Amino acid sequence: MQLLNPVDQIFLHLEGRHQPMHVGGLQLFSIPEDAGPDYVREVVTKARSFTDVQPPFNRRLKYRFGQPFRVDDESFDLEYHVRHLALPAPGAIRDLLALISMLHGALLDRSRPMWETYIIEGVTGNRFAVYTKFHHSLMDGISAMRVMRRSLNDTPAPGGLCVPWQLPQSDNDKSQGGGQAPWHAAWKAATATGRQVAAMPRVGQQVFSAWQKARHEPDFTAFKQAPMCMLNRRISGSRRFAAQSYSLSRIKKLAKHYDATVNDIVLAMCASALRDYLISQDALPEAPLVAMLPVSLHTADSGTGNKVAMIFASLATDVVDPVERLAAIQHSVDHWKRRYKDMTSEQIMGFTAALSTPAGMNLLTGIAPRRQAFNVVISNVPGPSETLYYGDAKLEGMYPVSIVLDGQALNISLASYRDSLEFGLLACRRSVPSMQHMLQYLSDALDALEQAGDSAAANESVAATGG
Amino acid sequence: MQLLNPVDQIFLHLEGRHQPMHVGGLQLFSIPEDAGPDYVREVVTKARSFTDVQPPFNRRLKYRFGQPFRVDDESFDLEYHVRHLALPAPGAIRDLLALISMLHGALLDRSRPMWETYIIEGVTGNRFAVYTKFHHSLMDGISAMRVMRRSLNDTPAPGGLCVPWQLPQSDNDKSQGGGQAPWHAAWKAATATGRQVAAMPRVGQQVFSAWQKARHEPDFTAFKQAPMCMLNRRISGSRRFAAQSYSLSRIKKLAKHYDATVNDIVLAMCASALRDYLISQDALPEAPLVAMLPVSLHTADSGTGNKVAMIFASLATDVVDPVERLAAIQHSVDHWKRRYKDMTSEQIMGFTAALSTPAGMNLLTGIAPRRQAFNVVISNVPGPSETLYYGDAKLEGMYPVSIVLDGQALNISLASYRDSLEFGLLACRRSVPSMQHMLQYLSDALDALEQAGDSAAANESVAATGG
């Protein structure tokens, strides 16, 4: 029996019927060409055969003296946690996204270990999907992605399916673990990383007084107040999930052309898409939107500490021209980078904690609804660059499915995989109607930046010729 | 804007994440033989084309001054309410029931009109299913079945699909309505009937003092205290739904043989199945289980009043022999029938209200956990005897999906249709593990009563020959 730490308790406390506090991931796999018609059912059967379920997958909540503890679930029911669904023919991606929207809107049963995985057959193009959700008190989004990564292989392994709730069996895994069971070490690392972002509401509370001082310091003036926006309404219990892959090489080419980072181009895409969407809803604020970007301060060897800072970037949604908008975003992000440059990671974390206080207060209590710290979270998690396999099924794409909150009705999360940036957009279906149009707007943004680059190059070429 | 009546408010108040207060129905249809491969998708498209949504289907909750009102949903989203799902091949009934269990466990979004309908393709045997759920504050189970009935035709109507949220269009319907819009009249009738059962917790509260007197009256001694039982635990948020059809002619034949009613045989089946199940769980109480049976006091022309009484029947689960058990159940039910015989319906209702108080108190507040008024609700709704059609798809079966509550972790509801009794069993998946075995035990019970009847007949025949 283990008492939940205060951060995990906050995720339980924040949860309501309109605001589930679970995170998820959607993975899309192709079925091997020589597979039989029962391939996906066999995957389900195989997955359900791993009944030696490891912590935390076998641990449920138990309240004692009003305090939440984690205990082993003595009537663990793997069939409940691993579910087999299908799409109606022809298995359009649109139907898959509708299904994920529905599943992600439903609360987890608190009397059981709070995770569920859905193996979904019948996706168009001879594919199947796996959607997994975890309660945020069990693990955060980044950790969930890492844990899911553990069930994937670097090479196709017919019959060699792994599941995240099972101890790893390869020697490779064991070599990393030192004295302790390797899985536990990985699990500890996975749950530690990224937790700082999650902890912000609470950190915010603690440093409220720090913030009251910080606001009078010169640096704080750079932290602009975000405009009121339809994205910052209260949310309902229904969700819309939209996901799409965008070519990383196209984005990298643009980054090179504009002397920007991949992240700058991603922000410019999001900014354009948000601008187009808000115009379509007749709801574009005059002042530019502010995005909050969680940034990892980890170095390769920095271990498992909680080292995450925040950047509050202007999305320059008031700027009409896409190239000028990109420049304004770069300027805003660079400003933060310069500020962070000479600070130690401890200083950065203290600084971010101080700055994020109004954000935390907004999220947690809504007591300061007129002070909007930021309009939207855009979170970018680096993912694997090599092709991965679930047994012998090739992973075609993996999309984060995050959380929306009262006051934060849209979340944009993305992960890289091979030559793709995989966007997962989650919104309150009611506060942010027809959010799926954002996918087209993201494509449009990419096209617009390319066209502007091409015509600039053509102009330069003309100028060069003319000169 | 319309204030919710107190009974409907209680259904909102009683609801929690582990205790959704919606009722549902599952309908199974066969696809016409000449249908194309997109038949079910066309049904979905057709259903979603009825965008002129009538009350209460277009009405959502809105809180004002802390009070719940019903208002029109100005951003009504039919696609959200009408969903298209599929079963994994080959579409086993087991997978259908698992899906319904999952769907029935999820809360409705309170910011929208609280109903959802799921059109599920790929059911084995060239069938599809429709599962619909309504919040109990919108309508009760019986009303839901009646409203669903309205979307069905007496004859196959290719292209003539109706939906319950649409005004009826046949002249037949109009002729019944008098001056008012016919649909509204039907709706009023539907919501009024059966409401009394639903209202019992509140009625219970009101007549608590009446009960305190009644317990000293001689009649009250007949109201036996139910034993403590595993069916009366607190529930979790996960559900198990099980459904099966049993032949009405077999049951009628047994009723004739044993000089019993169909309802007596149904109770004997439930009693045997419960006994077998509780023995399998090593949890059979020594004292017999008590079932609560809602009984309609309506006559054909009694209009739309709330006239429902309750019978508290012993299920004689302490009796080993199935025939003796049936006799004991008959005796218990007859006792109640005699009691009701010379009372006016008003007297019956007052009497039932008085008797049901501890039950209501149990359900509502759990303040009297040691006084278990009854162990299980068994509810039998008469249904259509003729074959019905949804458009041109033949209705093969319709199963109620009811509610479980803290202290009432199993509900047995059944409806008649053609030559079938359609059982829908709902349980908390955690408190009542492997509840689906009850379906087999119900079959076994039917077999056992038939075998006992046959051997008795054989014995009589031998005796007759010997005499």
Per-residue pLDDT reduced to its tens digit, B251-288: 999 999 999 999 999 999 999 999 999 999 999 999 99
Say whether B433 and A75 touch across the interface (CB within 8 A): yes
CB neighbour burial string for B357-382, b if at least 16 within 10 angstroms, e if fewer? bbbbbbbbeeeeeeebbbbbbbbbbe
| CA–CA distance, B136 with B198 (Å, rounded to integer) | 8
Helix, strand and coil content of chain B, in percent to the nearest 5, comes to 40, 25, 35
Of residues B40, B88, B429, nearest to A85 (C-beta): B88
Shortest alpha-carbon distance between residue A11 and chain B (Å) = 16
Say whether A112 and B17 touch across the interface (CB within 8 A): no
Out of A136, A257, A298, A437, the active site residue is: A136
The pLDDT-based confidence of B142 (bands split at 50, 70, 90) is low
- Which is nearest to A242 in space by CA: A91, A25, A436, A384? A436
Residue B298's pLDDT is what?
A: 53
Residues of B that are catalytic? 136
| CA–CA distance, A130 with A127 (Å, rounded to integer) | 10
Average pLDDT of A204-224? Answer: 43
Residue B145 has pLDDT above 80, yes or no: no
**Fold designation for B201-384+403-465:** Chloramphenicol Acetyltransferase (3.30.559)
Shortest alpha-carbon distance between residue B404 and chain A (Å) = 15
| CA–CA distance, A373 with A391 (Å, rounded to integer) | 44
Residue B350's pLDDT is what?
A: 66
Q: Over the Cα atoms of chain A, what is R_g?
A: 22
Least confident of B102-106, B230-234, B280-284: B230-234
| CA–CA distance, A456 with A449 (Å, rounded to integer) | 10
Residue B262's pLDDT is what?
A: 95
As a whole number of angstroms, the longest Cα–Cα distance in chain A is 82
* Chain A residues near residue B60 by CB distance under 8 angstroms: none
Q: What is the DSSP string of B226-272?
A: BPP-GGGS---S-EEEEEEEEEHHHHHHHHHHTT--HHHHHHHHHHH
Residue A4's pLDDT is what?
A: 82
The pLDDT-based confidence of B136 (bands split at 50, 70, 90) is confident
- Choose the most confident range, by mean pLDDT, from A126-135, A173-182, A456-465, B179-188: A126-135
Say whether B41 and A88 touch across the interface (CB within 8 A): yes
A→B contacts (Cβ < 8 Å), by residue, are 17-18, 37, 40-41, 75, 77, 80, 83-89, 95, 98-99, 102, 105-112, 121-122, 236-238, 429-430, 433
Among B14, B78, B111, the residue to mutate for chain A (most A Cβ within 10 A):
B111
pLDDT digits (tens, 9 = 90+) for B5-44: 766 777 788 888 999 999 999 999 999 999 999 999 999 9
Q: Note whether B144 and B131 are within 8 A (CB).
A: no
| CA–CA distance, A343 with A296 (Å, rounded to integer) | 14
Least confident of B109-118, B360-369, B437-446: B360-369
- Residue of A282 and B334 predicted with greater confidence: A282
Q: What is the ipTM of this complex?
A: 0.84
Amino acid, single-letter form, for residue B365? T
pLDDT digits (tens, 9 = 90+) for B48-61: 999 999 888 999 99
Q: To the nearest whole number, what is the mean pLDDT of chain B?
A: 82
| CA–CA distance, B419 with B385 (Å, rounded to integer) | 7
Average pLDDT of B239-247? Answer: 97
Say whether A122 and B87 touch across the interface (CB within 8 A): no
Put simply, whether the predicted model's pTM sits higher than 0.90 gets the answer no
Residue B163, SS3?
coil
Residue A194's pLDDT is what?
A: 40
Residue B141 has pLDDT above 70, yes or no: no
CB neighbour burial string for A146-185, b if at least 16 within 10 angstroms, e if fewer? bbbbbbbbeeebeeebbbbbbebeeeebeeeeeeeebbeb
> Is A136 a residue of the active site?
yes
Domain(s) labelled CATH 3.30.559.10 in chain B stretch across 2-182
Least confident of A164-173, A191-200, A418-427: A191-200
Q: What is the DSSP string of B358-405?
A: HHHHHHHH-S-TT-B--SEEEEEE---SS--EETTEEEEEEEEE---B
Phi, psi of B422 (to 5 degrees): -100, 110
| CA–CA distance, A444 with B192 (Å, rounded to integer) | 54
Say whether A41 and B98 touch across the interface (CB within 8 A): no
Residue A297 has pLDDT above 90, yes or no: no
Q: To the nearest whole number, what is the mean pLDDT of chain A?
A: 82
Q: Note whether A20 and A105 are within 8 A (CB).
A: yes
Q: Which residue stretches of A258-397 are H helix?
A: 262-280, 322-341, 345-355, 357-365
pLDDT digits (tens, 9 = 90+) for A20-76: 999 999 999 999 999 999 999 999 999 999 999 988 899 999 999 888 999 999 999
- Residue of B458 and B39 predicted with greater confidence: B39
For residue A21, how far is the Cα from the chain centroid?
13
Shortest alpha-carbon distance between residue A413 and chain B (Å) = 24
pLDDT digits (tens, 9 = 90+) for A348-396: 766 666 555 555 545 544 444 456 778 999 998 888 899 999 999 999 9
Say whether A109 and B111 touch across the interface (CB within 8 A): no
CB atoms within 10 A of CB A262: 16
Residue B242 has pLDDT above 90, yes or no: yes
pLDDT digits (tens, 9 = 90+) for A177-208: 333 333 344 334 444 434 434 444 444 333 34
Domain(s) labelled CATH 3.30.559.30 in chain B stretch across 201-384+403-465
Residue B233 has pLDDT above 70, yes or no: yes
Of residues B80, B98, B429, nearest to A238 (C-beta): B80
- Token readout for B193 is 């009937």
Shortest alpha-carbon distance between residue A313 and chain B (Å) = 33
| CA–CA distance, B410 with B430 (Å, rounded to integer) | 11
Q: Give me the percent of chain A exceeding a pLDDT of 70.
A: 75
β-strand partners of A405:
A408
pLDDT digits (tens, 9 = 90+) for A386-408: 999 999 999 999 999 999 988 89
The pLDDT-based confidence of B241 (bands split at 50, 70, 90) is very high
Domain spanning A2-182: which superfamily?
Chloramphenicol acetyltransferase-like domain (3.30.559.10)
Block residue for tokens 């007297």: B347
- Which is nearest to B350 in space by CA: B217, B442, B237, B238? B217
Sort A104 into a burial class: Cβ within 10 Å, 0-12 / 13-18 / 19+.
Answer: buried
Average pLDDT of A315-326? Answer: 96
Q: DSSP assignment, residue B107? A: P
Say whether A430 and B37 touch across the interface (CB within 8 A): no
| CA–CA distance, A397 with A391 (Å, rounded to integer) | 15
Residue A149's pLDDT is what?
A: 79
